[in-house]
Structure 1
Amino acid sequence: MASLGTDTVTRSGGGTTLRPVIGVALVAALGGLLFGYDTGVISGALLTIESDFGLTAFGSGVVVSAILVGAMAGAAVAGNLADRYGRRPVLVAAAGVFTVGAALAALAPSAAVLTAARLVLGLGIGTASNLVPVFLAEVAPPRHRGRLVGLNQLMITFGIVLAYVANYALAHATHGWRWMFGLAAVPALLFGAGMLLMPESPRWLALRGRTERARAVLARLRGPGDPAAVDAELAAMAAGREGGAAPVRRGRWRALAGRSVRPAVLAGVGLQILGQASGVNTVIYYAPKIFESSGLGSSSAVLATVGVGLVNLLMTPVGMFAVDRIGRKKLLASGAAVMTLALAGLAATLAAGGRHSSFAWPAVACVVLFIAAVATTLNVVVFIIPSELYPLRIRGTAMSATMFANWTMNFLVSLTFLTLLDALGGAATFTAYAVVCALLTLFTVRCIPETRGKSLEEIERELTRG
């Protein structure tokens, strides 16, 4: 947690300690670790699974993509449940889903059962991707909300690296792929047990009229340093509730079309669509294929892919540190511009060199620059921005729409990448992704408001006023 700064770990302005909220954030972010681990583990497990179950290429694709289908479903339903029953119980349930999915995958007697297990794991991932950022945003103080919500992305990248390590360590073990899947049950159980000890979101409690309980939770999260600050924060929540932020009992999805909500939904959903359409996950999923197409040998391509993973992990804390200093909008706009240049450079390199080895390492450099920009900007803010923008009364449901768009675009882009690469070639494919990144830059400048340093209630008031 060095990125929080030693001064802020002990005090956060006004005498309020950050230690309690960091503890809550670390437990909640275990959902991000499970997200990353269960997404990344299939890369090492698939080769052995193919031989054990005699999978065809289509069968392997079904096993891999099942988790994305489950994630779409999980993202679609989790927010509505969280708006009804609270963030904490739904996250506890997600931990149970992760545990069941890990056990089912480890014990799967057939490809069909393994596919079902991956669907179950996807439900957990969709729920976690939806609610962990919301929960973190609602418990964090405004001044440090960006980096605390960004902790979710750091844990996702850490989970991916853990999956790669497990894949390597168990590659030659008997039933190694079963252990790869089964190990995920350990952090899942820790996540569930930890969330049982965590408080409910104080903002959800205040929305439901449980004012004294919300006060007690805020006092626990902010520490004993400044009771007046707790009272002021609680008063802002109460004012928001009295000002029309009562919970929506029916028609939550219809509420997303309301005039005061539409700009926030446009910003949140548009960010997910353009962010995924930029090709970021195709580089993560298919990096060896990209490097081979640029002229690298297979062993060098795998080594370069490990480097990409390390860059992704190491650059994420840089973005966490910057997001509350620079601001969400400036950080994303600058990052999208660098992503555009990096992909344009990759397209130009592939067009000039084809598969000639002398152009391979410049292509690798462009990919590394792209991943560094993504890790420090897009991947940090992609969960932060929507978790801050939506009104409290429909925040969970709005996040469902947002993350459903994210997972749907992830699925479509991953499904079409190899087809585009074969039909158009690398140069044209990455030129198209560069154009999307340029559109993301313009979209950020025009449609995404700056939320740095503002309370969630301030943001809601500003959006309501247009």
Structure 2
Amino acid sequence: MASPPATSAERDSGSLRPVIGVTLVAALGGLLFGYDTGVISGALLFIEEDFALSAFASGVVVSSILVGAMLGAAAAGALSDRYGRRRVLVLAAGVFTLGAAMAAFAPSAVMLTAARLVLGFGIGTASNLVPVFIAEVAPPRYRGRLVGLNQLMITLGIVLAYVANYALEHTDHDWRWMFGIAAVPSLIFGAGMLALPESPRWLALRGQTDRARAVLARVRGYADGHADALDAELAEMTASAGAETAVPSAERRGRWRALTAPGVRPALIAGVGLQILGQASGVNTVIYYAPKIFESSGLGSSSAILATVGVGLVNLLMTPVGMYAVDRFGRKRLLATGAMVMTLALAGLAGTLAVGGQEGSFAWLAVAFVVLYIAAVATTLNVVVFIIPSELYPLRIRGTAMSATMFSNWSMNFLVSLTFLTLLQALGGAGTFTLYAAVCAMLTLFAVRVIPETRGKSLEEIEQELAHR
């Protein structure tokens, strides 16, 4: 299937380089998201030893970042609707820096937990606003892969965390450096966001048309003599912004209540439902607990961490495949296909564990099913999980709607992470992964029946279609 046709504005645009540069800087938030999420997997092996943590205390240290992420996701949307996407992302960079320093110097498990809460707040803010910021500056034809760059940076951050864990594991178990080095990219992210312009759509909503026009010309690379293309795109934005400001002031003040309005409801069901089912598929249990799982199967700590690097590399290398496919084949088809493969892979893994356990040739078959599952997640679910909601919501409540969406994401992430080891103990590997396979089957049906196709459409066109749905 061919890529969607370019709009007249896109045919007249001078270069994609400016918007790619903006996207790369913003996606550093995704890199920090991935690093601070993944670093605990290796560091935990040594934190448990240094602080003599019980299994419950270890779970608190791991899951505290998810509580912070819920709070960050809930707060970021309203703040960004009021103060702008860029300013809140600059704030997030400061939060990342503070959290990294706190974790590096934490004298106790309590202080480390507090540091993880702070880092989680930064992660929740970034997971909310980075996709929105990129979607609002990206041209429709390339929006999927540009927003998908955020996911690529998340997977890169996870791999870098795994590599840092492995490299620093040999330096007298100095887990503090594993956390502390994240302060460097945090500072770079903050400096980069200070140099970027505000979202042109947010500026248009605020009535700052001249600034919106200047930003649009900058990020699109419009050359002299192409004023018509610039004016056409700006007119679409300002018309949508004008319709938003025409909404009664009482509804604008009650942003959370506005999420239940009939015109918003289809988008909210699709966005929130995708987060709940996506997280309930269990993929993040691999990110958080892979070294523990490998160590319990008989590997030493060093080998367990090295094996986890391999899982991270599969995740990283398959993500660009999904970035290419999302604008070529569409969000809906990509998600439905990936969820089907995830279902088959987990069903195969559950069957393998039920028949052969973890011994002999069955162990290698189980590894193959895990790799297939991670590859399917990386090319489909993980690519669209941030793209789809960033495209669906009306401009006036986009930040607030993303808060509700990402809060549901992190809440389900917390629930799944908290219950994984309990499920594994109660149901065994076969029963646990059968349950996750059933969720993936539900996700397949949800993608086919509920998720709208947004490929190649402007954000304003998507908003109008969903309002009439």
Q: Give TM-score, length-normalised by structure 2.
A: 0.94
**Alignment-derived partner of residue 253 in structure 2:** 250
**Alignment-derived partner of residue 231 in structure 2:** 231
Letter in 1 for 2:419: T
C-alpha distance in 1, partners of 2:290/2:104?
27
C-alpha distance in 1, partners of 2:118/2:415?
20
In 2, are the aligned partners of 1:32 and 1:128 still within 8 Å (CA)?
yes
Letter in 2 for 1:15: S
- Alpha-carbon RMSD: 1.9
Which of 187, 190, 199 is the aligned partner of 2:188?
190
Offset, 1:23: 0.6
Runs of at least 4 residues of structure 1 off by over 6 A? none
Q: Deviations over 1:409-437 (max 9, x none)?
A: 00101111111111111112111111111
Q: Deviations over 1:298-342 (max 9, x none)?
A: 257655433221110100000001110010000000000100110
Offset, 1:287: 3.5
**Alignment-derived partner of residue 176 in structure 1:** 174
In 2, are the aligned partners of 1:245 and 1:391 still within 8 Å (CA)?
no
**Alignment-derived partner of residue 461 in structure 2:** 458
**Alignment-derived partner of residue 355 in structure 1:** 358
**Alignment-derived partner of residue 36 in structure 1:** 34
Task: Say which SS state the counterpart of residue 11 (structure 2) adopts.
Answer: coil
C-alpha distance in 1, partners of 2:293/2:41?
16
Paired residues, number? 456
Which of 115, 118, 122 is the aligned partner of 1:117?
115
**Alignment-derived partner of residue 143 in structure 1:** 141
C-alpha distance in 1, partners of 2:291/2:120?
24
Offset, 1:264: 0.2
Q: Deviations over 1:158-202 (max 9, x none)?
A: 011111111122223257222111111101000101100100000
**Alignment-derived partner of residue 155 in structure 1:** 153
Which of 305, 329, 337 is the aligned partner of 2:308?
305
Letter in 2 for 1:231: D
Q: Which moved more, 1:446-455 or 1:13-22?
A: 13-22
Which of 273, 277, 281 is the aligned partner of 2:276?
273
Alignment of 1:68-79 (within 5 A): 68-79=66-77
In 1, are the aligned partners of 2:63 and 2:417 still within 8 Å (CA)?
no
Which runs of no fewer than 5 residues in structure 2 stay unpaired?
none
Which of 63, 66, 70 is the aligned partner of 2:61?
63
Is 1:330–2:328 an aligned residue pair?
no
Offset, 1:281: 1.1
Offset, 1:104: 1.1
C-alpha distance in 2, partners of 1:421/1:85?
45
C-alpha distance in 2, partners of 1:179/1:301?
19
Offset, 1:291: 5.8
Which of 427, 439, 454 is the aligned partner of 1:436?
439
In 2, are the aligned partners of 1:291 and 1:363 still within 8 Å (CA)?
no
Which of 161, 164, 185 is the aligned partner of 2:162?
164
In 2, are the aligned partners of 1:268 and 1:402 still within 8 Å (CA)?
yes
C-alpha distance in 2, partners of 1:256/1:271?
16
1:288 to 1:105, Cα distance in 2 relative to 1, 3 A? closer
C-alpha distance in 1, partners of 2:176/2:305?
23
Task: Say which SS state the counterpart of residue 298 (structure 1) adopts.
Answer: coil
C-alpha distance in 2, partners of 1:174/1:188?
26
C-alpha distance in 1, partners of 2:239/2:130?
25
Q: Give TM-score, length-normalised by structure 1.
A: 0.94
C-alpha distance in 2, partners of 1:451/1:112?
45
Q: Deviations over 1:178-237 (max 9, x none)?
A: 211111110100010110010000000001111011000001011133332211111001
In 1, are the aligned partners of 2:67 and 2:120 still within 8 Å (CA)?
yes
1:70 to 1:408, Cα distance in 2 relative to 1, 3 A? same
Task: Say which SS state the counterpart of residue 13 (structure 1) adopts.
Answer: helix
C-alpha distance in 1, partners of 2:289/2:389?
28
**Alignment-derived partner of residue 214 in structure 1:** 212
C-alpha distance in 2, partners of 1:289/1:350?
18
C-alpha distance in 1, partners of 2:228/2:403?
35
1:257 to 1:188, Cα distance in 2 relative to 1, 3 A? same
